[in-house]
Amino acid sequence: MSDFKIHHREGEGVNVLELKGYLDAHTAPDLENAFQQLLNEKRYRIVVNFKDLSYISSAGLGVFMAYIEDVRKNKGDIKLTNMTPKVYNVFDLLGFPILYEIYKDEKEAIGKFKDGKKQ
C-alpha cells in the first residue's frame, strides 16, 4: 500500500509536481528523490501542487528547505499552490509564507514564472 504519490508533468518550461496522500517522515524520501531528479536534469522552475495532499508533517516541510537554495542559486524557484487550509496551517506555523511563494492556484504560479524571465 502506498500512502503518498507524486505525479510529475511539464509544460511551458515549468515542472509541476502534484502531491497526493500523506507526506510524513516515511514518505518524505520519495519527494526528496523527485526533487533530486529535477535538479539532476537541471530543471529549476518548479511548482508543487498540494491539491490532493491530505497531510504534511515537518519531515515533509524539511524537504522544501533542503532544495530551495540550490534551486534559487540556479535562477529557479519552488512555488507552492492549492494547499488545503489544514496543510497551509502547518506551513504558516513554521513561517514558510515569508520565504516561499504560495499561491491559491497552479496557473497563477506558472504565470509568475512566465512574467519574471529572471526566474
- DSSP letters for the chain: ---EEEEEEEETTEEEEEEEEEESTTTHHHHHHHHHHHHHTT--EEEEEEEEEEEE-HHHHHHHHHHHHHHHHTT-EEEEE---HHHHHHHHHTTHHHHS-EESSHHHHHHHHHH-TT-
Q: In the complex with other proteins, which residue's Cβ is closer, 41 or 98? A: 98
Could you say which of 9, 37, 93, 107 contacts other proteins (CB under 8 A)? 93
6 binds other proteins (CB under 8 A): no
95 binds other proteins (CB under 8 A): yes
Query: Which residues bind to other proteins, rule: CB under 8 A?
Result: 3, 22, 24-26, 55, 57-59, 61-62, 65-66, 68-69, 86, 89-90, 93-96, 98-99
